[in-house]
Amino acid sequence: MLKALLVINPHAGKGKIKGNLVDIVDTLVKADYEVTVYTTQCRGDAVEHVKNRSKDYDLVVCSGGDGTLDEVVTGMIQSGFNTDIGYIPAGSTNDFANSLELPTNMLSAAQLITRNNNFACDIGRFNDDVFVYIAAFGIFTEVSYGTSQEMKNVLGHMAYILEGMRQLQNVQSYKMTVKGYSITNDNPQGEEINISDEFIFGMITNSYSIGGFRSITNNITGRTVELNDGLFEVTLIKMPKNPIELNSIIAALISEDIDTKYMYCFKAKELHIESEGEVAWTLDGEYGGNHNIVDLKNMPRAINIRC
Q: pLDDT tens digits for 280-298? A: 999 988 889 999 999 999 9
Q: What is the mean pLDDT of residues 94-103?
A: 85
- Res. 220: pLDDT tops 60: no
- Res. 219: pLDDT tops 80: no
Own/partner pairs for 157-160, CB < 8 Å, 24+ apart?
157/92, 157/93, 157/212, 159/92, 160/92, 160/93, 160/211, 160/212
Between CA 33 and CA 25 the distance in angstroms is 9
Q: Is the dihedral of CA 64, 157, 100, 269 positive or negative?
A: negative
- Architecture in CATH for domain 2-116: 3-Layer(aba) Sandwich (3.40)
Element (DSSP H or E) covering residue 167: helix 157-167
- Res. 46: pLDDT tops 70: yes
Between CA 234 and CA 230 the distance in angstroms is 13
Residue 213 has a pLDDT of: 54
Q: What is the mean pLDDT of residues 43-66?
A: 95
- Res. 156: pLDDT tops 70: no
Residue bearing the bigger pLDDT, 158 or 211? 211
Predicted confidence (pLDDT) per residue in 130-150, tens digit:
999 989 898 766 544 444 445
At the top level of CATH, which class does the domain 129-300 belong to?
mainly beta
Sequential DSSP letters for 229-295: SS-EEEEEEEPPSSHHHHHHHHHHHHTT---TTTEEEEEESEEEEEEEEEEEEEETTEEEEEEEEEE
Identify whether the C-beta of residue 63 lies closer than 8 Å to the C-beta of residue 8.
yes
Q: How confident is the model at residue 93 (pLDDT cuts 50, 70, 90)?
A: low
Identify whether the C-beta of residue 279 lies closer than 8 Å to the C-beta of residue 285.
no
This prediction's pTM: 0.84
- Domain assignments of the chain as residue spans, ordered by start: 2-116, 129-300
Q: How confident is the model at residue 154 (pLDDT cuts 50, 70, 90)?
A: very low
Residue bearing the bigger pLDDT, 241 or 71? 71
Residue bearing the bigger pLDDT, 248 or 256? 248
High-pLDDT (> 90) share of the chain, %: 57
Predicted confidence (pLDDT) per residue in 110-122, tens digit:
999 999 999 999 9
Residue 157 has a pLDDT of: 42
